[in-house]
Amino acid sequence: MANSYQVVVCGGIVPDPLQTLEPVAGPAGPALKNEMMLPAVLDPWAGHALYEAAALARKFPGSKVYLVSLAPKAKLQQVMMTIAQRVPLELVALDGPGGGFTDSAETAAALAGAIQGIAGLDRSKLLLFGGWESASRGAGSTMQMVAERLGIVDQFQGVDELQIGEDGSLRILERVEGGQHQVSVCDAPPALLGWATGNLGEPANNAQVGMQNMRTIMPSLQKAKPTQLKSGIAFASVALPKLQRETRIVKDASVDEIAKEIADWAAAE
C-alpha cells in the first residue's frame, strides 16, 4: 500500500451560524447586513471534507492536502489562524466575494482555474474533495462543475466514507434514500468526492502544525489573485423567511390527506 495522493479540498468561509443573518440590498446586489463585521468560520461541509483529507494524508505517507478557497482575503486570514492549527495543508487563496449571492458556475470556473495552476499537480494521484452542500453556496452543483472543468468524470456525492483497498481502488459510501448507502468502487484517481458529514471529529489544535502552515499561508494570502464573479443573475428581492405557526390537532387523517394539505399550503406561499 505504497500509494500517495494529492487531495485538493475546495472550501469557502461563511458567517458563524450562531449570528443573526439579515439580507439587505446593497449597491452591488444582495448582501448580508454588516457582513464584514460578522465572525466567519470554514464552511461546515468543507470542514468535513478537509478533515477527511487530512486523515487520508496521515494514512498514506507522501500525500499532500491543498485547500483552495475563494473568499475575502481579510476574512480568510482570520479563519486560517484557527484552521492552520488543525490540518497540515497548502493554501491556494482567491480574493473574491464569499457570500451566498454568487453564481455557482462562475465560482466553479474560478476554483477550477486555481486548481489547474497548482504546480506539479499529478492527475493520477488527484482526489478532489468538497462539500456535498454549502452553508453559503447551497446550489449543490459547484463541486460537480469544478470536476467537469477538470475533466474528472468519476463523481460521488453525499459521501460518508472512503476506504482505499490494497490495489488502490476507492470504495465509497454514498447516501441514498431511506437512510441507506450506495456502495461504489472506483478503480483509481482522479475522482470527485462531495462529502456529507463523514465520520471524523474535528481535529484538536496543534501549535506546531499551525506554525508550519503559517510559513506558507501568509505568502499565499499576500499573493491571492483578485477574483471578480460576473454573472447574469438578478435578484428581485431578498428577505428573511416569514415566521408563521399554525397548529391544528386532527385525528384519523390519512397520509394522502396530510400530504395534500402540506402541498396545498406550500403552493399557496
Place of cell 454573472: 231
Q: Break the chain into its structural domains and give their ranges.
A: 6-226
Is-above-0.85 flag for pTM? no
Q: Give mean pLDDT, residues 169-185.
A: 87
Local confidence band at 207 (pLDDT 50, 70, 90 cut-offs): confident
Share of the chain above pLDDT 90, in %: 24
Local confidence band at 131 (pLDDT 50, 70, 90 cut-offs): confident
Number of Cβ within 10 Å of residue 203's Cβ equals 15
Coil, strand, or helix at residue 59?
helix
Give the span between the Cα atoms of 126 and 108, in whole angstroms: 17
Q: The domain 6-226 belongs to what CATH superfamily?
A: HUPs (3.40.50.620)
The phi, psi pair for 202, rounded to 5°, reads -75, 130
**Closest alpha carbon to 94 in 119, 64, 65, 118:** 118
**Closest alpha carbon to 70 in 243, 245, 265, 228:** 228
Residue 225's beta-bridge partner residues? 94
The phi, psi pair for 175, rounded to 5°, reads -70, 135
How does pLDDT run across 20-71, given as a tens digit for each residue?
776 777 666 666 777 777 778 888 888 899 999 999 999 999 999 999 998 8
Local confidence band at 1 (pLDDT 50, 70, 90 cut-offs): very low
Coil, strand, or helix at residue 167?
coil
- Asked whether the bond before 241 is cis by omega within 30 degrees of 0, the reply is no
40-42 and 13-15: which strand pairing? antiparallel
